Structure 1
Amino acid sequence: MNITLKERAIDIAALALDIARSSEKNQTIGDFLQATGKISPDDAERILTVQKEQGLRFGDAAKTLGLINDQDIQRALANHFDFPLLFNGDGEFSPELITAYQPFHEQVEVLRTVCSQLMLTWFNESRKILTVVSPRRGEGRSNVAANLAVLFSQLGRKTLLIDADLRQPRQQQIFRLNQTQGLSDLLAGRRDEWVIAPILHFRDLSVLPAGTKPPNPLELISRDMSACLSHLAGQYDVILIDTPANELGADSQVLSAKAGGALYLARQNHTRLADLAKMKNLFESTGTVSVGSVVTDF
């Protein structure tokens, strides 16, 4: 798998069908709009009249009457299809989380293609863990890992995003987590699994932040990460691991060997292909499967 974020997605229909089939559809759009205070019961009667007279869908009829706007319709549809979605003002996540705030952005469509390919070629009952790696800093590992994690959770896969970059962690910033403890504290035996933070806006997504910055990140990961991952794999469908840049040390190589597979990132006009090839060969020499590659342009 080799995908560039400039390409258009071509396999969105299958993902949309998956979402639709998995939805509970236990609440009509009208019910949702009333429950959230957007319309009153009297408004609903007026909408039904216009809907019948003009042959409109309920949401379009409500919009025609000036009772709701496009965002209200999108929010109601997201609820109807059990598809977690955020809008400006919802939550306090970083704007980098475009899969949550801009679900129809071209870049998100391409990430959906990556997600689809990973479901087809990697993730199954015996393979649940994948690292996101790249040779150098500033190539988009944290961004891609976070957005892929949201996409998997939107598909109903119980997803855990682990920030294993104990040197320069970013997931706590992206998801605006207040806690100071995380993976390093868990590996050191100072904390239990309660350091895993559920993301309330996405019921199938949890984040394990990096935690207290340790003086010995590589040693900590080398010593205790295997048992930790083995335990967590029994609780999640998908585990994505954000890693340090390979230029900072052997952390990403060790993490990838323990995970079993790696997704490689390269940033256009930034990553040297020789560095990427050298890294790939090094990782494969320790048993890591090269699952695919993504070229970022942001």
Structure 2
Amino acid sequence: MKTGPGADAVSEAARERMVGAILIDAGKLRPEDAEKILRAQKEKGLRFGEAGVRLGLLKQADIDFALSRQFGYSYLQPGERGVAQELVAAYQPFSHAVEELRALRSQLMLRWFTGEPGHKALAVVGTERGEGRSYVAANLAVVFSQLDERTLLIDADLRNPRQHSLFRLENRTGLSAWLSGRAGSEAIQAVPGLPGLSVLTAGAVPPNPQELLGRAQFPALLEQICADHDVVLLDTPAMDTAADAQMVGARARAALLVARKDHSRLPVLQALSAALSDSGAAVVGAVMNAF
């Protein structure tokens, strides 16, 4: 086995060739253009990506894509799959919005997802429709999965579910069927292109959502799911629609409040926080959604 500076040079060259191979395999670079880049790289002492950009054969987005594949950091290319553009963490992982989501992920890992028993589930709650609960829950699920956490997103909004639309998933069987005894873990769907991420959609909208969520099957379901996942996020209906969110928060034992800039009202948020605390849920934080 080689060691020393020579080995470092060999290793660096191998990495550069890997970047080129990834781009060729993805159809983003022609083999003859890769050869041009390699020649320019040698002549000018540049990295593969830098040489490609200078020659006008690559864009920074191409380099980011190759590096993400090289280091096992999965995200989707625009047009690669029909998930909603709202999933910015899946499509634009280097954007400001996703940096904010990663910062939120870090805070949640420090405050709740600490590895302690019973600290795997988190309800994402808000006071009114339009505050962005589904957006935050979906994108948080993506960034947790990009950290190699086995992540499950549950759409517990059995009134106006959205997660199946965001991820373009089948919604015939989901949480409502599981809670009513008509389905089981087979209702969980993996998200193609995003390893480690699965979604349990809401399923058919039932006539009795609050009663379903209040059944003993729900905590048993969560216990089963948490045994197989590292992070379980639950989307919920708005508090002004029903008291479902409070019940889901209590079942999860923790909640994240979502507010929208210039939209949410502080007294109502404070009332929701107090109601969650009274139900036994830890309010681990609040996020201001400005997107």
Fold match, TM over 0.5?
A: yes
Partner of 1:196: 188
Residue 287 of structure 1: SS of its match in structure 2? coil
Taking the TM superposition and a 5 Å limit, the aligned residue runs for 1:147-158 are 147-158=139-150
Ranges in structure 2 where 5+ consecutive residues have no aligned partner: 1-14
2:40 is equivalent to residue 50 of structure 1? yes
Q: Which of 1 and 2 has higher RCO (CA within 8 Å, sep 6+)?
A: 1
1:266 is the counterpart of 2:259:
yes
Give the distance between the partners of 1:113 and 1:37, measured in 2 at CA: 33
Please tell me whether residue 86 in structure 1 is matched to residue 79 in structure 2: no
Query: How much does 1:265 deviate?
Result: 1.1
Aligned pair 1:281/2:271, yes or no?
no
Contact 2:250 2:281 in 1 (8 A): yes
Cα deviation 1:128-182 (Å, max 9, x = unaligned)? 0000001111111000000100000111111000000000001011111133211
Matched, 1:252 2:245: yes
Distance 1:107 1:38 in 2: 26
Partner of 1:14 in structure 2? none
Q: Where do residues 60-75 of structure 1 align in structure 2 (5 Å cutoff)?
A: 60-75=50-65
Do the aligned residues in 1 keep the contact of 2:191 with 2:199 (CA within 8 Å)? Answer: yes
The answer to whether the Cα contact below 8 Å between 2:171 and 2:202 also exists between their aligned partners in 1 is: no
Aligned partner of 2:104 in structure 1 is 114
Counterpart-to-counterpart distance in 1, 2:279 and 2:102: 29
CA contact (8 A) 1:38 1:67 kept: no
TM-score, normalising length from structure 2?
Answer: 0.89
State the Cα distance separating 1:103 from its structure 2 match: 1.9
Work out the CA distance in 2 between the residues paired with 1:41 and 1:248: 57
Instruction: Compute the displacement of 1:261 (Å).
Output: 0.5
Using the size of structure 1 for normalisation, the TM-score is 0.87
Matched, 1:143 2:135: yes
Gaps (5+ residues) in structure 1? 1-24
In structure 2, C-alpha distance between the alignment counterparts of 1:263 and 1:249, rounded to whole Å: 17
Question: What do you get for the CA RMSD once the two structures are aligned?
Answer: 1.8
Amino acid at match of 1:211: G
Contact 2:141 2:153 in 1 (8 A): yes
Give, in angstroms, the shift of residue 60 of structure 1. Answer: 2.4
Partner AA of 2:178 in structure 1: L
| Of 103, 113, 125, the match for 1:123 | 113
Percent of aligned positions with the same letter in both sequences? 48
Residues 165 and 59 of structure 1, relative CA distance in 2, 3 Å threshold: same
